[in-house]
Structure 1
Amino acid sequence: MISGTTAFDHRANRFLAALDPDDYAALEPHLESVDLPRGTVLYETGDPLTHTYFPHDSVVSLVTVMEDGHSVEMGVFGREALVGIVTAVITRKALGRYIVQLPGAASRISTERMHEAIATRPALRHTFLRASEALISQTLLTVACNAVHDVEARCCRWLLSTHDRVDRDTLPLTHELLAEMMGVQRSTVSTVTRALHTAGLIAQGRGGITVRDRAGLERRACECYGRIRRSFEHLLPRSYPASGRSRT
């Protein structure tokens, strides 16, 4: 269940932080702060998109669910992005399941208000179109990555992209979550993370997975991580941290 939270600076979301002051001022009165618990389904396939979300430290995945119940991730949204408007501009209906993978805070605005602002404010519309291109690029690369890259490389990509979106080195990730997102067996993820742990790249514990050697993870990740990150940095400057080094 989504709940209200104590008001904070909505510009913790980097899309909102990148807006011109006048554009941000036009949106700010209509933004509300919410908590997004892990596992919350924001939208199921075909649901009307009533709100646009701007994650702060939460992470939302867009997954496609098959008839047999299996699912695979098509895109992931964190503090660099906005959720619930880019993928369905015409129908305004969800094209997949939007589910909260990492709990945290977010800002949100009614989708109707967001559409009005995009239609009437050229600078905001320009930023939105740049964000849309970055997100579409991410989705296409994710599809290709799922098809051609091995599980270890994809797992490293997922760990790195999550590390970019939170302010700590210990990521609240489980083997079950990683397996679901990558569309593989839990035992496969366990084998991969054990190898990464043995190599000194990560540590595993009750609190999740801790990044120990980020540079090492980057060397073992597939090319998709760097390509997605460069796309966001080009289209939406400041959407990623200035440095890829570990943070504690």
Structure 2
Amino acid sequence: MHASEHPCSRNRLLSLLPREEFHDIVGSLEQIDLPRGTIIASAHDTIEHVYFLCSGIGSVVTASLEGHRAEAGMFGREGFAPTSAGVGGRISVHEVMIQVSGDGYRMPIGPMHEKLDGNPVFAGLLAKFIQTFATQISYTSLASANLQVDQRLARWLLMCHDRIDSDEIPLTHSFISLMLAVRRPSITNAVHVLEGQKLVVAERGRITIRDRKRLEEFAGSAYGEAEAEYRRLIGEL
């Protein structure tokens, strides 16, 4: 079976593998459903599997010893997690949690490291994704330090929209407040701002993107640099 015909090719990185490497790697992959709330890696714990999403969205969360939590970045079918496994690491610094249900493939950490040694294109793609993810995290930090909550929310919704095949994003205000590390009332106010601009429609447990172009304009410089880096190094999201 050619890579483009295999279900795991819905993951962008796996779809770009040459035939020989694809067939070597696919034999170590296990298909898995990923319901919302699934923890696929725990902070400061041993990595057991590496995950390649085909649908859904994963959140990479930084958690302090005191219990403070904030989303550092997100990924979907364009990447993999935990990223430290892509450079031979065995410990995940972050917690990785599924925020929008989906499915994908996972590989045990032992075979993962073996495949890195024997498949240079595979290793190169993972390294490129790690670079784009680092860029995303850096712009998350910039947005958190300098932008209002409504602009940060606009950026976050655009990033979610990039990773699903629907204008409807199943998210609650409580979950968004956790991911953006702000109080829930601040998220409610920010959603009202975006609704007032007719950029989104918010319903219980769901936000619908109404005007993607104007939402990007509203987000301004908060959105776009990490996405451009991905396109330069790998291709379309």
TMscore range, shorter length: over 0.9
Corresponding residue SS for 2:160: helix
Runs of 4+ in 1 over 6 A off after TM superposition: none
Give the whole-Å Cα distance in 2 for the aligned partners of 1:126 and 1:64.
26
Residue 161 in structure 1 maps to residue 162 in structure 2:
no
Which amino acid is 1:232 matched to?
Answer: Y
Mapped partners of 1:80, 1:86: distance in 2: 16
Verify the 8 A CA contact 2:86 2:123 in the aligned structure 1.
no
Alignment of 1:81-100 (within 5 A): 81-86=79-84, 89=87, 91-100=89-98
Quote how far apart the aligned CAs of 1:207 are.
4.9
Structure 1 residue corresponding to 2:199, chosen from 198, 201, 225: 201
- 1:122 pairs, out of 116, 120, 133, with 120
Identify the residue that residue 13 of structure 2 maps to in structure 1.
15
CA distance in 2, matches of 1:61, 1:170: 18
Distance 1:105 1:120 in 2: 27
Secondary structure in 1 matching 2:91: coil
Partner of 2:148: 150
Shift of 1:125: 1.9
The percent identity for this pair of structures is: 31
Q: What is the CA–CA distance in structure 2 between the aligned matches of 1:101 and 1:126, rounded to whole Å? A: 27
What per-residue deviation string (whole Å, max 9, x for no partner) do you get for residues 86-140 of structure 1? 3674541010211111111111111221211111122222222211211122222
Matched with 2:71 is: 73
Name the SS for the 2:32 alignment partner. strand
Which residues of structure 2 form unaligned runs of 5+? 1-5
Decide whether aligned partners of structure 1 residues 88 and 205 sit closer, same or farther in structure 2, where only a CA change above 3 A counts.
Answer: same
Structure 1 residues 228 and 146: CA distance shift in structure 2, 3 A: same
Counterpart of 2:111? 113
What secondary structure sits across from 2:92 in the alignment?
Answer: coil
TM-score, L = length of structure 2: 0.92
How far does the alpha carbon of each residue in 1:153-190 deviate from its partner, in whole angstroms, 9 at most, with x for none? Answer: 11011100100111111100111111111100110010
Per the TM alignment, residue 22 of structure 1 is displaced from its structure 2 partner at its CA by 1.8
Native 8 Å contact 1:170 1:211 kept in 2: yes
1:85 touches 1:92 (CA, 8 Å); kept in 2?
no
Deviations along 1:35-64, one digit per CA (max 9) or x if unpaired, are: 111111122212111111011222111111
Maintained 8 Å contact 1:118/1:128:
no
Aligned pairs for 1:1-248 (under 5 A) are 9-86=7-84, 89=87, 91-238=89-236, 240=237
Q: Counterpart in 2 of 1:243?
A: none
Q: 1:168 to 1:61 in 2, by over 3 A?
A: same
The number of residues matched between the two structures is 232
Contact 1:149 1:222 in 2 (8 A): no
Backbone CA RMSD of aligned residues: 1.6
Q: Secondary structure at the match of 1:80?
A: coil
Distance 1:204 1:133, change over 3 A: same
